[in-house]
Amino acid sequence: MAQDIVIRSTVYQDVPSIEVPLDPGPGNAVFVDTSDATLNDAGNLPSGVTAYANATKYTGTAAENDSSDLSISGATVTVPAGFYASSASGTVASGSASPASTISATGASVSTGTNTLTLSKSVSNTPTVSAGYISSGTAGSSSVSLTASVTTKAAATITPGTSNQTIAAGTYLTGAQTIQGDADLVAGNIVAGKNIFGVAGSAQIPSITQDSVTHVLSIS
């Protein structure tokens, strides 16, 4: 901070320091204005370091710390107050995450839509985590929802015909499927030599022929 100085009635303005020749020389003694210094406690200086402020000499008393002064508890590193002449570091123990021995699951829910049945079930796996630093990307817990959709078929009556009728694999039947039967499906109603649904025919059909000249019918 600069001050106005009066020497032999002469005012010298904004003087930051005064140099006075040494005896013996060469060289000068330098006196600096310290009135604007904020130092007011020896505890603000490292031990053994001296400084002047407000015309007072201070000898530092603050201890110098290093890495051995850090305290570590779990994931917390405590840095005590003081001076550090060089960087200080401490290591937090590594943590771990292990898959849970059991996986919990919620009950499955069922919903139905047009020709669709949806089954939903959620499961979660919360691992056992030990205290310590766990690097980015390490899973803490996970959950997954499993959803499956299947085609449904309501109750129906199936009438046998001349072509196959199928129910697609994986179809969930929401109602009874009735395949019609017929009491007339017996051997006597089926021409001999024919087989319908596993029933071999035994009915004999007369052979009828007609003479092309006389037009007489012959039945055998």
Give the separation between CA 179 and CA 152, rounded to whole angstroms: 18
Q: With a threshold of 0.85, does the pTM exceed it?
A: no
Burial class (CB in 10 A: 0-12, 13-18, 19+), 38: exposed
For residue 187, the SS3 value is helix
For residue 78, the SS3 value is strand
State the CB neighbour count (10 A cutoff) for residue 49. Answer: 15
Of 90, 76, 94, 91, the residue nearest 132 (C-alpha) = 94
Are the C-beta atoms of residues 62 and 69 closer than 8 Å to each other? no
Q: pLDDT per position in the chain (220 positions), as tens?
A: 678 888 888 888 888 888 888 888 788 888 888 888 888 788 888 888 898 888 888 888 888 888 888 888 877 889 888 788 888 888 887 777 666 666 666 666 667 676 676 777 776 767 777 777 776 666 555 656 666 778 888 899 999 998 999 998 888 888 899 999 999 999 999 999 999 999 999 998 877 777 787 776 877 6
Domain layout of the chain by residue ranges: 3-64, 103-126+140-181, 183-220
Question: What are the Cα distances from residue 42, in Å, to 69, 147, 180?
Answer: 21, 71, 107
